[in-house]
Amino acid sequence: MLVRDAMSTVVLTIGPAHTLRQAAALMSARRVGAALVLDPEAGGIGILTERDILNSVGLGQNPDAERTHAHTTNNVVFATPTWTLEEAARAMAHGGFRHLVVLDRGEPAGIVSVRDIIRCWAPARQHAASLTG
């Protein structure tokens, strides 16, 4: 299977001036664990994850005062829609993250998460087990 088969194509996009509370509310409403942060001044596409928000709150920072630009990962690892799920999983394991931004011709096309990969792999593994058992 390929990344394009697993990725979410509806991507939450926020700006660098959003507060962490605003970002968390949008992520919660959309039931996603990451948002793309578009910031031309910081080099383009970054990613903000629920872990970034959790780390800030854990440090006692005020989610109404903290802006996403201060917590965004800008050195993003990008996948393409034609990567295999194995390649995506390997990149996530190597980098220690759970979301990959998918670019197609240099433009954001989606996000693939560990959960997306598991969702694709689980039925295939169940089917294979039923054939051998």
Could you read off the pLDDT of 69-118 as tens digits, one per residue?
999 998 899 999 999 999 999 999 999 999 999 999 989 999 999 999 99
Tokens 């507060």, residue?
A: 19
* Residue 23 parent element (H or E): helix 20-30
Q: What is the pLDDT of residues 58-68, one digit of tens each?
A: 999 999 999 99
More confident call, 20 vs 122: 20
Q: What is the CA radius of gyration of the chain?
A: 16
What local confidence, expressed as pLDDT, does residue 74 receive?
87
Q: Which of 83, 97, 76, 101 is nearest to 9 (CA)?
A: 101
Band the pLDDT of 128: cuts 50, 70, 90: low
pLDDT tens readout for residues 30-49: 999 999 999 877 778 999 99
Give the mean model confidence (pLDDT) for residues 9-19: 94
Q: What is the pTM of this model?
A: 0.85
Half-sphere exposure of 36 (CA within 13 A, CB side): 23
Is 12's pLDDT higher than 70? yes
Give yes or no for residue 124 having a pLDDT over 80. no
Ranges of beta strands (E only) in 65-133 are 78-79, 99-104, 107-113
